[in-house]
Structure 1
């Protein structure tokens, strides 16, 4: 169902049961600092995440189920697989295949040569909207299930409801899957520390990154890695520079923060109005890099380019930063100054 259907028949949208939440005061956006973008168009909508291999080829997934590969010069585009679902996060697996988080089908392994798709963990009772992942050297996969309440197309419902039904999971090389954390506010991007001592994941509706320690004296403990972020953190990744990169899908909106602390009946009413009258993401492109040791800001690239917005995926590779977008029919990149 697309937004036109929602406008014509709003009753088709799922009901929401909002709770009240008071957001911390947002900081200011940085001054424009985003270098000029090179935009590579693809033949599909919603190139949500990006992945780069050792040859500089760029991988992404689009909303009709295809996984695409662009050559390092952007001149050739190939379809390498069709998941039959909605691919989101993409990662490398140790055996050479791609790990694909598919919002409809679950956690998948995709052969880059044959296009064969293996379901590693299916969507179902314990996995509803598989979103993003990080893969350890031994093949352990850490991944997010963003919401148990809504489909991906109704992500705004999850934001307005704010009941926190997402989960963070782990799949070990023997195929066992364990839920590590529950009650999360739309968990999204995942990134491992360069030494794999901890894993970080984004809690999108809480404007923060959480950290789970995997080794050392604090193994098994959780804490906040970055709090009160100025935007909605979407996919995150560990760059070749060792930093943890964040894609901000949109800056925070004071109206949204206000609505989340109002009586639930107001948000129920808002959810029933046509989408064109609801708050919308800002047309920005924004990524930030954090030091894995301190959480301090290393890079902060913000801008409002006319030809690219809603950055949901980010990947730094050899000093070049690649971007994906849930809305665009393209990937983009810029070189770190």
Structure 2
């Protein structure tokens, strides 16, 4: 289906390619960066990047080195910038900072500690301001806007739940509502063309017959519509994102050097 790839963007102008290119070393992550959430603004074609160490960044439509947009909010540095989504109508970027104390390479400690210092934030490119929308979240991870842009969903990984934040105009209702509870750690969330949601279940694959690696949630009430089963295959180890497009599911993982393509 896809025959080749090419380098489109990088995190830093002075990136040490000899050290950083192709490395999976967590020790080098603070030096080399670690992109997690990436998404194009469909209007401007700018690529926004949530880098775990360098914060919120952007690359123009022609690619090249990324420009840092934000690395802190309320004078508190981002420690674990994670996922993002973009409202194409306003250009506002919603993103998560998973912890105020632990970095990505320390995520096992984050989980074990019960840390609840994560934040949901927004970046407005019109005034270049970052606003904290919600504090005190337990490992906030994936974030996505609903199809009609009336609400946000945020995966709170350590609580194994999906939270809904209603959006009114350009304001977000700060008190979330529970949208769904899942059996394993939810990671990224993607909205499909029908307005439903695929939630990747990144860790703690079950020993039962189902071996769930992702669930599809009804966009109106959070009920489970479909599941993606791993069938004990290593190819679907630590799935971090599932996106449905053109009749296929595309599953990505931070520990595998490929994308799994499955007929939906």
Q: Give me the TM-score of the superposition, normalised by structure 1.
A: 0.65
How much is the aligned-residue C-alpha RMSD, in angstroms? 2.1
Structure 2 residue corresponding to 1:146, chosen from 98, 120, 130: 98
**Equivalents in 2 of 1:121, 1:190: separation in Å?**
18
Paired residue secondary structure (1:210) = strand
Does 2:171 correspond to 1:224? no
Paired residue secondary structure (1:250) = coil
Stretches of structure 1 lacking an aligned partner (at least 5 in a row): 1-72, 255-283
- How does 1:1-337 map onto structure 2 within 5 Å? 73-84=1-12, 85-93=33-41, 94-122=43-71, 125-137=76-88, 138-174=90-126, 175-215=128-168, 220=173, 221-227=175-181, 229-251=182-204, 286-303=213-230, 304-336=232-264
Listed one character per residue, the Cα deviations across residues 125-160 of structure 1 (whole Å, up to 9, x for unaligned) are: 342211001111221111000011111111000001
**Equivalents in 2 of 1:156, 1:112: separation in Å?**
36
Which structure carries more relative contact order (alpha carbon 8 Å, separation 6+)? 1
1:231 Cα deviation from its structure 2 partner: 0.8
Paired residue secondary structure (2:7) = strand
**Equivalents in 2 of 1:86, 1:219: separation in Å?**
28
Paired residue secondary structure (1:128) = coil
1:328 Cα deviation from its structure 2 partner: 0.9
**Equivalents in 1 of 2:195, 2:64: separation in Å?**
31
- CA 1:252–1:334 in structure 2 vs 1: closer, same or farther (change >3 Å)? closer
Paired residue secondary structure (1:154) = helix
Asked if the contact 2:164/2:179 (under 8 Å) is kept, the reply is yes
Asked if the contact 1:241/1:319 (under 8 Å) is kept, the reply is no
Asked if the contact 1:247/1:313 (under 8 Å) is kept, the reply is yes
**Equivalents in 1 of 2:63, 2:36: separation in Å?**
20
1:288 Cα deviation from its structure 2 partner: 1.1
Paired residue secondary structure (1:307) = helix
- CA 1:306–1:222 in structure 2 vs 1: closer, same or farther (change >3 Å)? closer
State how many pairs are aligned: 233
Listed one character per residue, the Cα deviations across residues 181-209 of structure 1 (whole Å, up to 9, x for unaligned) are: 11111100001111010000000000001
1:252 Cα deviation from its structure 2 partner: 6.5
Matched with 2:18 is none
1:285 Cα deviation from its structure 2 partner: 6.4
**Equivalents in 2 of 1:307, 1:315: separation in Å?**
16
Asked if the contact 1:101/1:130 (under 8 Å) is kept, the reply is yes
**Equivalents in 2 of 1:108, 1:205: separation in Å?**
26
Stretches of structure 2 lacking an aligned partner (at least 5 in a row): 13-32
- CA 1:141–1:249 in structure 2 vs 1: closer, same or farther (change >3 Å)? same
Asked if the contact 2:147/2:193 (under 8 Å) is kept, the reply is no
Listed one character per residue, the Cα deviations across residues 273-319 of structure 1 (whole Å, up to 9, x for unaligned) are: xxxxxxxxxxx661111111111111111122233310011211122
**Equivalents in 2 of 1:172, 1:112: separation in Å?**
19
Moved over 4 A (4+): none
